[in-house]
Structure 1
Amino acid sequence: MATPQSLPIQAVIFDWAGTLVDFGSLAPTQIFVDAFATFGIAITLEQARGPMGISKRPHIEMLLAEPGIQAQWQQQFGRPSTQHDVDAIYERFMPMQISKVGDYSQPIPGAVDTFAWLRAHGIRIGSCSGYPREVLDVLLPMAAQQGLVPDHVVAGDELTAGGRPGPFMALANVLALGVTDVRACIKVDDTAPGILEGRNAGMWTVGLSLSGNEVGFSPAELASADPAEVARRKAHAETHLHNAGAHVVIDTVADLPRIVTEIAGRMAGGERP
């Protein structure tokens, strides 16, 4: 089988929450629940997880458009929500997210070793996130202290072209990293919009089921959960990620080196994403 040395993958582009840090993608979901609660609107963690992967302001907009949440809003305020309300929730959300994101900055097991493996094979490391830059400015130094230092980072609010599921953040990494062929890149993400981002950019895509938003267990919750429930959630996540276009779905980033080698072999056989 071909190896990264004989048929190089030029770059791997990672998501952050649920992919590299924050097993279960808990930081953004809980803060959405808390931010809506300050307006007297009760949303569940499951509802908060629904649009995960896109940038945070459109995420709030999508939540407000959900019929049950919109009905609560109209009952609470006597009118439909507006763009000004989206702005107000976002302004409430942001300081809450900034203050809490550091609590969830622990690398997912295997992430640091995977970075080392990629660097040893001459593969560049990019990253992007639905988090705005203000949040990443808090998260990134904490992640760096624990060994996660990508070559480039793109935030969800800094491209005028937009965010996921568009290809723009992935392609901004391509430009910054000096990649010469998008077909030699792999996008790694735990959400459907993140997989679509990679597919729309013309890349290989790897979905992460167990560590991400789709399963939603913290490590402690995972350790104590009913195995049948874990299997049910993981199967649902795998189906959702495959349906979004993932070429491969694995449990966590710890499994990625094997998949990079596998994709290199597929490329050696003439396959392209």
Structure 2
Amino acid sequence: MNVELVVLDMAGTTVRDDGAVEAAFSAALEAVGVPADSPEREDVDAYVRDTMGQSKIEVFRALFPAEGVAEKANRVFESAFASRAIEVAEPLPGAEEAIDKLRAQGRRVCLSTGFSARTRDALLARLGWTELADLVVCPADAGGRGRPFPDMVLTAVLRLGITDVRAVAVAGDTGFDMLTGRRAGASVAAGVLTGAHDEATLRAHGATHVLGSVAELPGVLER
């Protein structure tokens, strides 16, 4: 089936954040009483690594079920990430060219992120990407649920008038990107090795392809 829509993750897939995500998680954990030297920090850090790609508020809700704690952690995370990302974020090599090639092939392109709308917009402005893709979505655009739910991909399908969910390719650097694509019915779930997870993790979560970077994707879809 011809791929009509390509949904691309941002941080780790199309965007290099130079450690901004990890630094923001650290700031958030400090803010809710889990400093780097606390006994539980190693387990918490492992959970954060394993759930990279998932909606950040869902990660914090799983870690901190007490009322208000997850929301506080998420606010600190978003603020810390936005401040650092504005300084350091840049396109991963070949990302902009890949998006241009995909659109030149006649495909629609949607960027997706688990960040808030405010952080998403700050990141797009930093990169000069406000007009790069056909659509950019975050959990708030899809009813509030981020990865691994299929909602952001399906929102893009609806907004861009795609004829069939099988005519979708999803690309990302985490297992949750792969799981999201498969749950949404995408025929291609392409993992890239420029971010959080390795090939084994990407395959275990349903990757149909594993690529060195997103720069390879236009060629894969063209073939």
Q: TM-score, normalised by structure 1?
A: 0.73
Tell me if structure 1 keeps the 8 A contact 2:32–2:69.
Answer: no
Higher strand share: 2
2:136 aligned counterpart, secondary structure: coil
Q: Does 1:129 align with 2:123?
A: no
1:31-110 equivalence runs, <5 A: 31-41=24-34, 42=36, 43=41, 46-64=46-64, 82-110=66-94
Residue 173 of structure 1 corresponds to 156
Superimposed CA distance per residue, residues 15-61 of structure 1 (whole angstroms, 9 cap, x where no aligned partner) = 1000110167x322221012212344124665432211111111122
Moved more, 89-98 or 118-127: 89-98
Distance 2:24 2:83 in 1: 10
The structure with more radius of gyration: 1
Superimposed CA distance per residue, residues 172-203 of structure 1 (whole angstroms, 9 cap, x where no aligned partner) = 11111111111111000111111111101110
The number of residues matched between the two structures is 215
RMSD of aligned C-alpha atoms?
2.1
1:127-206 equivalence runs, <5 A: 127-144=111-128, 149-160=132-143, 162-203=145-186, 204-206=188-190
What stretches of structure 2 of length at least 5 have no aligned partner? none
Distance 1:152 1:106 in 2: 19
Tell me if structure 2 keeps the 8 A contact 1:21–1:106.
Answer: yes
Moved more, 49-58 or 193-202: 49-58
1:9-28 equivalence runs, <5 A: 9-22=3-16, 26-28=19-21
Distance 1:35 1:143 in 2: 24
Tell me if structure 1 keeps the 8 A contact 2:148–2:176.
Answer: yes
Percent identical pairs in the alignment equals 32
Tell me if structure 2 keeps the 8 A contact 1:187–1:205.
Answer: yes
Distance 1:132 1:23 in 2: 16
Residue 214 of structure 2 corresponds to 253
Distance 2:144 2:117 in 1: 16
**Alpha-carbon distance, 1:157 to partner:** 3.0
Tell me if structure 1 keeps the 8 A contact 2:175–2:205.
Answer: yes
Tell me if structure 1 keeps the 8 A contact 2:139–2:152.
Answer: yes
Tell me if structure 2 keeps the 8 A contact 1:126–1:177.
Answer: no
2:96 aligned counterpart, secondary structure: helix
Distance 1:95 1:161, change over 3 A: closer
Tell me if structure 2 keeps the 8 A contact 1:12–1:188.
Answer: yes
Distance 2:13 2:83 in 1: 21
Distance 2:183 2:33 in 1: 38
Distance 1:48 1:103, change over 3 A: farther
**Alpha-carbon distance, 1:94 to partner:** 2.4
What stretches of structure 1 of length at least 5 have no aligned partner? 1-6, 65-80, 215-236, 263-273
